Amino acid sequence: ISFGQSLEPLLKTLKDLTGPDTCILCCYEQRTMGKNPEIERKYFELLQMDFELEKIPLDKHDEEYRSEDIHIINIHRKR
């Protein structure tokens, strides 16, 4: 099973395990090779159907570990 095929089960799991007060912190490295950009776009498109996303600005990341290709997103269920 490819990561692209696991998007729907991942999103279902996030919906099943979250409530109105749940905060999810998603941290990921942006990858630009192969199908990665397409899968990333689709994931965030589907995620926004049920969740609100707030990107944490780079200047709020830990100084020692911050990087332009590392993203942190605060995710919570839409009310």
Q: Can you give the pLDDT at residue 2?
A: 61
Q: d(Cα 74, Cα 54) in Å, to the nearest integer?
A: 5
CA distance readout (Å), 57 to 51, 73, 78: 19, 9, 21
Per-residue pLDDT tens over the stretch 13-66? 999 999 999 999 999 998 888 888 998 999 999 999 999 999 999 999 999 999
Which residues, including other chains, have CB under 8 Å from residue 37's CB and lie 6 or more apart? Answer: 31
Q: What is the pTM of this model?
A: 0.83
The torsion region of residue 75 among left (phi > 0), alpha (psi -120 to 50) and beta comes to beta
Q: How confident is the model at residue 71 (pLDDT cuts 50, 70, 90)?
A: very high
Q: Can you give the pLDDT at residue 78?
A: 94
Q: Can you give the pLDDT at residue 4?
A: 65
